[in-house]
Amino acid sequence: MSLPPLPTIPALDRAPEAAIRDLIDGLAKPKGSMGKLEDLALKLALIQRTATPRAQRVVLFVFAGDHGITDEGVSSYPQAVTAAMVRTFLSGRACVNACAGAAGVEMRVVDAGVAADLAPSDILIDAKIRCGTRNSAREPAMTRAETERALEVGIGLVGRHEYATVDVVALGEMGIGNTAASALLMHRLAPATLDACIGQGAGQDAKGMARKRAALQMAASRSNAAEPLDVMAEFGGLEMAMMTGALLGAAAARKPVIVDGFISTVVALAAARLDPAAADYCIFSHCSAEHGHRLLLEVLGAQPLLDLEMRLGEGSGAVLAVPLIRAAAALLSDVASLADVVEGRL
């Protein structure tokens, strides 16, 4: 099957790398003393194609969707929790709101496929494709058309006029059952053994884990899909497909994309399999406690900024990395050179 039109992601121009490194080395600090923030400053400069990168306006998009595979008991929470948590986001009282507030990040919630009606809200983007996916243990989660539609909406998201001044995009998700869907995507796209990809998600006891494993084995044995969008349609989620599009769209607009935890990193993997150039625009925020995330980060060659044993999702880890990204941008944009200091030009 042919691919839908994907946006053109410019290959990262590495020609200015040496010049940017020289600027960083020439700052008023011992060489290398800002550690990983120096690499991050370089990355921001290359992505934004400027020696004075910015990370002032950051918007977190939290993509929400339901998963039919919850019928198999893969999650310890009922499906209705997705809508309940989305309403909590909209009320400003979820953990991600606390993190976004602490980090000075704007938040939007994108309803890609929540299986409930949601009241309008200033920060809610209604992009519902369908009320949840089908049960991928028994049939494809989405049709190819639904998958492509979700992808397209995501691709167009960051390009909207109201986001023209956004410097950096952060991505998060909410969807009961989406660690199960993500395990299947990682299994096929990394690829890795299914066992290496299955974790406890929101929290599962031994019986729950056995149910989750059985359901995922049933799903995996149902289809040999290997092409990224086929895998997404067979096993993925509406919020995951839409987030994949948003990542591609942001990269095409040369905006750095902050990737959150396990599910978001699986999305980054899917995006990279659709267009390898996308990976260069990703900033991996943290290593989560979800089994499989560390291996997944290794597959992507990613070195996350934080390791706080978090496993919440929602974009919570992504926004907590924002101050580090702002500090990295400010190194190049605001800090004096050693020459300025020595020669008294302050």
Instruction: Give the distance, in angstroms, between the CA of residue 87 and the centroid of all CA atoms in the same chain.
Output: 21
Q: Which of 85, 141, 170, 296 binds a copy of itself (CB under 8 A)?
A: 85
Q: Nearest Cα to 244, choosing from 287, 279, 216, 202?
A: 279
* For a copy of itself, the closer CB: 49 or 93: 93
Place of tokens 């998600």: 201
Whole-number Cα distances in Å, 264 to 39, 283, 297: 22, 11, 11
Q: What is the CA radius of gyration of the chain?
A: 20
From 38, 239, 290, 314, the catalytic residue: 314
* For a copy of itself, the closer CB: 259 or 310: 310
Q: Which of 128, 130, 293, 326 binds a copy of itself (CB under 8 A)?
A: 326
Residues 6+ apart with CB under 8 A from 87: 118, 119
Near a copy of itself in 188-227, by CB under 8 A: 202-203
* For a copy of itself, the closer CB: 94 or 278: 94
Near a copy of itself in 273-302, by CB under 8 A: 289
Strands (DSSP E) along the chain, which ranges? 58-65, 106-113, 124-126, 168-174, 257-259, 282-284
Residue 282: beta bridge partners?
Answer: 257
Cα–Cα distance, 330 to 39 (Å, whole number): 13
**Closest distance between a copy of itself and the C-beta of residue 48, in Å?**
16
Q: Which of 145, 164, 210, 342 binds a copy of itself (CB under 8 A)?
A: 342
* For a copy of itself, the closer CB: 51 or 77: 77
Residues 6+ apart with CB under 8 A from 273: 189, 228
Residues 6+ apart with CB under 8 A from 39: none
Strand order in the sheet with 124-126: 124-126, 106-113, 58-65, 168-174, 257-259, 282-284
The site string for a copy of itself over 87-106 (x = CB under 8 A, - otherwise) reads: xx--xxxxx-xxx-xxxx--
Cα–Cα distance, 21 to 28 (Å, whole number): 14
* For a copy of itself, the closer CB: 86 or 166: 86
DSSP secondary structure of 255-304: --EEE-SHHHHHHHHHHHHH-GGGGGGEEE-B--SSTTHHHHHHHTT---
**Closest distance between a copy of itself and the C-beta of residue 199, in Å?**
12
Only segment of 11-19, 119-127, 245-253, 312-320 that touches a copy of itself (CB under 8 A): 312-320
Near a copy of itself in 28-47, by CB under 8 A: 28-37
* For a copy of itself, the closer CB: 29 or 222: 29
Near a copy of itself in 220-279, by CB under 8 A: none
Near a copy of itself in 123-162, by CB under 8 A: none
**314 noted as active-site residue:** yes
Q: Which of 118, 123, 299, 306 binds a copy of itself (CB under 8 A)?
A: 306
Tokens of 91: 């009320």
* For a copy of itself, the closer CB: 98 or 210: 98
Asked if 318 touches a copy of itself (CB under 8 A), the answer is no
Catalytically annotated residues:
314
Residues that bind a copy of itself (CB under 8 A): 27-37, 77, 84-85, 87-88, 91-95, 97-99, 101-104, 202-203, 289, 305-312, 316, 320, 322-324, 326-327, 330-331, 334-336, 340-342, 346
